[in-house]
Structure 1
Amino acid sequence: MYASFFGRLSIAPVFVAAIGLFILSQSAHAEIGAHILVDAKSGAVIDQKNATRKWYPASLTKLMTAYVTFKAIRAEKISLNSAVVQSQNSASEPPSKMGFKIGTKFTVDTALKIILIKSANDVAVALGEAVAGSEAGFIAMMNAEARRLGMTHTRFSNPHGLPDNSQVTTARDMAILAMALRRDFPESREFYNHPGIRFGKKTLRSANREFLLRVKGANGMKTGYICNSGYNVAASVTRRGRTLIGIIMGASSGLERTAFARQLFDAGFKKGRGGKKVTSLSGYSGNPPANGYCRRNKKLSSKQYMARYDMKNTQGGGLLFFGKQKTRNPAKVDTSSFTKSNGKPDWAKILDRTLGPRRIAYKPLPVGLGKPKGTPSVSASIPAENIPLPVANPIRKAKMEMRTKLQTAQTEPAAEVTGASAGTIPQIEAAGQRPGSAVNTSKAAHGSIFRKGMDFTVPVPAPSPSK
């Protein structure tokens, strides 16, 4: 009897260790860094992981840029038809960008559409200058709003989200911002629910397009990417009159970001409406990831991706096991149904099976310069000869000079920051245009407004549905 009793005791640690190894094996693949799912109306937390861990927002920053702008419009400091000017300071930002010539005027309405759909960094800075008179003044407004909204662990250092390790947030804070944007400015919903824009003869697709086109009830909001953050998204879905908001940070690819969001929302709508309020989450559960996060969090292979997110072979695209996602062994996944005859992944089928077929047709939103009225007010500290071209933020001046040098030497394509890796896939429609080459804008409707070799179609990564 005693032997059997002690025998069972000796087996227990082995069993626990085996369970631990199993869990570790399931998390050995690429992981989502942090996420939260909340009810947009009540703020109830439906699901979360590391929601209070500090993270880099990347282009989710532009949600605050938009919030501050909408607030200025409501206060009648500016209007949707007010002028935004492409200044020397804003034009110096790296891609993703529109590349307008310095001095080009366009409306606030146009700027909002461009930053929320196309995620242009140069336009984000120009918009901030138009609202506050200077980039530094606008950043101060962003941080003031973050404090007022209760974004306790958020600090903004620029209006666009390009790499700056002092610019941090949490999934919790971003959920609060996304809720506020929908609640305080319902009109903003018409700016971030489009899968792309058309400017003249050129079309640029949003990095959030497949989510918007395929996921039932999807209606927003914004993606983001820098290497130190991985792939981020603030997403919203409305079904049967109920809206949920999801914040996802640190995905290994744009495709995984979208599939995880679909899975999160599908599961969330099946749960109840109660739960802890997002504002009641306090403290923080960790520091931001170390530099080079994107290189450590390797992108899933097509087999690993299908093992985790295939809706046909897993209930809801994945099962839960002790709070971890249980996936099938990629080696045992039947690849015949999503592999082409040449052995390469059939991404059209993969998208259908992990996100669902397209529910609506792709239709880009036409965007032009508009009819801007007036000239943006400029801070008194700016020399008159620079009006309406605000001077650079002195804190970032050296950084911009370095960026210019890196842009000249850069050989890899870029989108939000690093191009195809950010999920934004610009498309060239001109006949015979070679991917990656400069576009001749002389025949375009708005060709004269673009800086030579710097218009928004340069550089152009090869289209890939997996990005």
Structure 2
Amino acid sequence: MFSSPIGRLTVFFLALFFGAAALNSGSARADIGAFILVDAKTGKVLEEKNATRKWYPASLTKMMTAYVTFKAIREGRATLNSAVVQSKNSLSEPPSKMGFKVGTRFTIDTALKIILVKSANDVAVALGEAVSGSESAFLAAMNAEARRLGMTNTRFTNPHGLPDNGQVTTARDMAILAMALRRDFPESKKFYNHPGLRFGKKTLRSANREFLLRVPGANGMKTGYICNSGYNVAASVTRRGRTLIAVILGAGSGLERTAFARQLFDKGFRKRGGGKNVASMTGSSGNPPANGYCRRNRSPGAKAYMARFDMKNEPSGGFLFFRSASDKQLKKVDESGFTLANGKPDWAKILDRTLGPRRIAYKPLQVSLGKPSGTPKAAANIAGSQIPASDIPVPAANPMRRAEIEIRAKLQNTAQGSASDAITQSASASAGSAGEPAQAAPGSIFRKGLDFTVPVPAPSPRK
């Protein structure tokens, strides 16, 4: 039949139809994967979508790393001045990282600020080793706390959130953790509300800085990104004595994540009451996204940002803004107001119109190694009972970690005096002070070529 004119015409139109369908499918966006907005005091859910669907937490994991650490301090097993030591195991983590030399000592106070603002993976592991004696013991503590808090769909296999499909959570579970962190450890607020850090002459910017600097009442908490999760954030805002917490999972870019959070908070503060309590949400509404989520859920682009999040054109009420911008909305967008003379997007104006102008000047928090004293006492048991061996995950090197180790081994062979440069505890003691590394030039405590490794993904105006 395909040899006849009618048959060939039929094939042509079928090919045209399916080709157009494939094109539309390829350009379609998965949009925000899951989110929840809760009242931090009452736990009432103001808005949610797929809040019990399993998702990859990425660096939101570090909120639990901080929670377990604060609990150790409260129980007297550690202090903010207790020593954290960079180990070979912790240094082997991929970026984002600090890259301190093996043996470098710094305080828990410094470690907490670094993991919650800079999101350094190597410091997260070193902190866990200091608090619990080993990475696996710390992971057991993280999972024990998750169970105790009622995070029913959460499982931790590392303390930082780097790719591991066995490490899952939900927006609902992360909201419970964010509430617990604020409620149980009010002092934690001063660790996660900074837009950046300054270490020596280096500035380490938080991926959450524009949210903190632009959104009224913003005071935290943590961002996260891996390809399989997309862009995540747990954010908090306080206005007129009321605090709301939002957890957003699976955004297509850093700006979409932040603009969506801003919009969600603005709407939420106009809404009183709420229905169900976050603790009453049970079960699981789905599995995590398939591998390669970030390649399917791409950045909306400047015009789509403005169609969805331009504050000048937002409706005054209702929660109708959670869909992608329609073709009709895109056609209405006047690009002249946010386009440079060369035709490229003016991201400074886009930030002003989707997040608001900067209300606070950027001022990074100064940090140093500090003056560590003493070593934390690892707990014999967690949450009041011995931990079954089956509940203690064994950290496994992922491909990124193995590649990093191989690169480091090659650098080790060529680095000059690498062995003698390592700052060991015994050398620190012989120098006369446990805090002496803090007096050294900042550059001397880093591995050559590995200090202040850039975060993944690299910063851009949209992120």
- TM-score band, normalised by the shorter chain? 0.7 to 0.9
Q: Does residue 449 of structure 2 align to residue 447 of structure 1? A: no
Q: 2:232 — aligned with what?
A: 232
Check 1:342–1:157 CA distance in 2 against 1; reply closer, same or farther (3 A cut).
Answer: same
Distance, in Å, in 2 between the alignment partners of 1:407 and 1:304 is 40
Return 5+ residue gaps in structure 1 as ranges.
1-23, 381-392, 410-442
Q: CA deviation at 1:399?
A: 4.9
Q: 1:329 — aligned with what?
A: 329
Give the AA of the match of 2:449: G
Q: 1:456 — aligned with what?
A: 452
Deviations along 1:276-335, whole A, 9 cap, x unmatched?
A: 1000011111000000000001211111111111111222599718x7466553233110
Distance, in Å, in 1 between the alignment partners of 2:374 and 2:346 is 51
Distance, in Å, in 2 between the alignment partners of 1:400 and 1:463 is 20
Cα pair 1:98 1:455 within 8 Å, conserved: yes
Q: 1:154 — aligned with what?
A: 154
Q: Does residue 182 of structure 2 align to residue 182 of structure 1? A: yes
Q: How does 1:47-196 map to 2 (within 5 A)?
A: 47-196=47-196
Distance, in Å, in 2 between the alignment partners of 1:459 and 1:401 is 15
DSSP-derived class of the 1:148 partner: helix
Q: 1:19 — aligned with what?
A: none
The structure whose residues are more often helix, as a share, is: 2
Deviations along 1:408-430, whole A, 9 cap, x unmatched?
A: 79xxxxxxxxxxxxxxxxxxxxx
Q: 2:242 — aligned with what?
A: 242
Q: 1:415 — aligned with what?
A: none
Q: 1:308 — aligned with what?
A: 308
Give the AA of the match of 2:452: F
Deviations along 1:416-451, whole A, 9 cap, x unmatched?
A: xxxxxxxxxxxxxxxxxxxxxxxxxxx993111101
Q: 1:272 — aligned with what?
A: 272
DSSP-derived class of the 1:156 partner: coil
Q: Give percent identity, aligned residues only.
A: 76
Cα pair 2:81 2:108 within 8 Å, conserved: yes
DSSP-derived class of the 1:371 partner: coil
Cα pair 1:30 1:299 within 8 Å, conserved: no
Give the AA of the match of 2:461: P
Deviations along 1:107-147, whole A, 9 cap, x unmatched?
A: 00000000000000000000000000000000000000000
Cα pair 2:31 2:323 within 8 Å, conserved: no
Q: 1:284 — aligned with what?
A: 284
Check 1:463–1:131 CA distance in 2 against 1; reply closer, same or farther (3 A cut).
Answer: closer
Q: Does residue 344 of structure 2 align to residue 344 of structure 1? A: yes
DSSP-derived class of the 1:203 partner: strand
Check 1:398–1:176 CA distance in 2 against 1; reply closer, same or farther (3 A cut).
Answer: closer
Deviations along 1:71-93, whole A, 9 cap, x unmatched?
A: 00000000000000000100000
Cα pair 1:93 1:121 within 8 Å, conserved: yes
Check 1:252–1:324 CA distance in 2 against 1; reply closer, same or farther (3 A cut).
Answer: closer
Cα pair 1:87 1:103 within 8 Å, conserved: yes
Cα pair 1:78 1:131 within 8 Å, conserved: yes
Q: 1:357 — aligned with what?
A: 357
Distance, in Å, in 2 between the alignment partners of 1:355 and 1:69 is 33
Q: Does residue 35 of structure 2 align to residue 35 of structure 1? A: yes
Check 1:407–1:281 CA distance in 2 against 1; reply closer, same or farther (3 A cut).
Answer: farther
Cα pair 1:94 1:407 within 8 Å, conserved: no
Distance, in Å, in 1 between the alignment partners of 2:283 and 2:204 is 40
Deviations along 1:215-265, whole A, 9 cap, x unmatched?
A: 010000000000000000000000000000000000000010000000000
Cα pair 2:267 2:319 within 8 Å, conserved: no
Number of aligned pairs? 398
Give the AA of the match of 2:135: E
Distance, in Å, in 1 between the alignment partners of 2:379 and 2:42 is 40
Give the AA of the match of 2:156: F
DSSP-derived class of the 2:402 partner: helix
DSSP-derived class of the 1:329 partner: helix
Cα pair 1:309 1:318 within 8 Å, conserved: no
Distance, in Å, in 2 between the alignment partners of 1:401 and 1:234 is 26
Give the AA of the match of 1:104: T
Q: How does 1:394-409 map to 2 (within 5 A)?
A: 395-397=395-397, 399=399, 402-404=402-404
Distance, in Å, in 1 between the alignment partners of 2:271 and 2:455 is 44
Distance, in Å, in 2 between the alignment partners of 1:336 and 1:398 is 46
Q: How does 1:384-423 map to 2 (within 5 A)?
A: 395-397=395-397, 399=399, 402-404=402-404
- Please say which of residues 141-150 and 273-282 is displaced more in the overlay: 273-282
Return 5+ residue gaps in structure 2 as ranges.
1-23, 381-392, 410-438
Check 1:53–1:194 CA distance in 2 against 1; reply closer, same or farther (3 A cut).
Answer: same
- Report the RMSD for the aligned CA atoms in angstroms: 2.6
Give the AA of the match of 1:49: K
Give the AA of the match of 1:215: V
Distance, in Å, in 1 between the alignment partners of 2:365 and 2:151 is 32
Check 1:457–1:291 CA distance in 2 against 1; reply closer, same or farther (3 A cut).
Answer: closer
Q: 1:9 — aligned with what?
A: none
Deviations along 1:361-399, whole A, 9 cap, x unmatched?
A: 00000010000002456899xxxxxxxxxxxx9641475
Cα pair 2:43 2:278 within 8 Å, conserved: yes
Distance, in Å, in 2 between the alignment partners of 1:271 and 1:459 is 37
DSSP-derived class of the 1:320 partner: coil
Distance, in Å, in 2 between the alignment partners of 1:317 and 1:341 is 35
Q: 1:433 — aligned with what?
A: none
Distance, in Å, in 1 between the alignment partners of 2:315 and 2:345 is 23
Distance, in Å, in 2 between the alignment partners of 1:180 and 1:287 is 25
